[in-house]
A = this chain, B = another copy of it.
Amino acid sequence: MAKKIILTGDRPTGPLHLGHYVGSLRTRVELQSQYKQFVIIADVQALTDNAEKPQLVRDNVLEVALDYLAVGIDPQVTTIFIQSLIPQLAELTMFFMNLVTVARLQLNPTVKDEIKQRGFGTSIPAGFLCYPVSQAADILSFKADLVPVGADQIPMIEQTVEIARRFNRSYNCSVFTEPQGLIASVPRLPGVDGKGKMSKSAGNAISLCDSADTVRDAVKKMYTDPKHLLISDPGTVEGNPVFCYLDTFDPDKQALDVMKEHYRRGGLGDTVVKSRLLEVLLSILDPIRARRHEFAKDPGEVMRILKDGTAAAREVAATTIQEVRGSMGINYFPN
């Protein structure tokens, strides 16, 4: 039986961080042998709210690729590609845009939230409002069975399923399979300031490429229980960012339970807990950073990997767009 297909990826707008690591990168490494996995570096999508900053997007294509390779995404089994170099995705987006109403896009909860977050006011770029259509084109071009998402992105999958159904129904065909969301089991990692989720733009992230010193510094400044003033005071574990991180990353759950108990009854200082967290984080980040450093020595080789992945992805997308034209009856020159 053919392997099931996964499509996943990132907007190249900044270095990937621990939130990405637990939320998606780690899973990609785990799944890559079991599935046929496509990882899109979504630069066209990144431009929908960074039209004035193409250099940011351009620079981060390489950075994101380095992060992928550093965490262990293997280009021998996973196809990593650059969105803007696959014209078929733009073509499919154009066809799909006729199958979605403006009103439907305006009701998409994910996009509504993001529009609010970005403070576009009444100046919403048309490309931003329509990016779910472009995302549907990405997913459906590769006929993905599964799309790993956070809970807040489920509406994007629903929108994609609607488009797939509408296309198949309108053109009386079965070109597209309906993808399913693979919902992340890990809760969102909070930022080091304990406010909301970890994000580069909020300045509360630990990036995968951060030096050991930077990580040490970030852990030192990390928020804990604000009422835990003296070592002897009882402390709260729930919602305490340091313990959230330990819950997520510490492999020794038994020792962690002992530590939590001690913290709760008092007598355990933040410094000790943070020291354990630093140890845990560095045990993960040191090898990633070391591999990243190796790959970064030869950016030409990394770009070659992206070029090869993009060529492979383009072939798949080209086959799909031919099927699309065929179903619509607009393949004027089939040969």
Contact = CB atoms under 8 A, between A and B. Distances in A.
Interface of A: 43-44, 47-49, 51-52, 54-55, 57-58, 61, 82, 84-85, 87-88, 90-91, 93-95, 97-103, 105, 122-130, 133-134, 170-171, 303, 306-307, 325, 328-330, 332-333
A147 B57 CA distance: 34
Among A43, A82, A328, max chain B CB count under 10 A is at: A328
A57 B303 CA distance: 41
A146 B26 CA distance: 54
A332 B59 CA distance: 10
B122 A44 contact: no
**Total identical chains:** 2
Among A52, A55, A82, A126, max chain B CB count under 10 A is at: A126
B125 A100 contact: yes
A234 to B, nearest CB: 53
Main secondary structure of the interface of A (DSSP, over half): helix
A160 to B, nearest CB: 14
Contacts of A99: 51, 125
A303 B87 contact: no
Given A94-B44, A98-B47, A98-B48, A330 B122 contact: no
A244 to B, nearest CB: 36
Contacts of A133: 126
B303 A43 contact: no
Nearest to A318: B87
Among A95, A122, A124, max chain B CB count under 10 A is at: A95
Given A303-B332, A332-B85, A103 B124 contact: yes
Contacts of A51: 98-99, 170
Nearest to A332: B82
A85 B329 CA distance: 13
A66 to B, nearest CB: 14
A82 B332 CA distance: 9
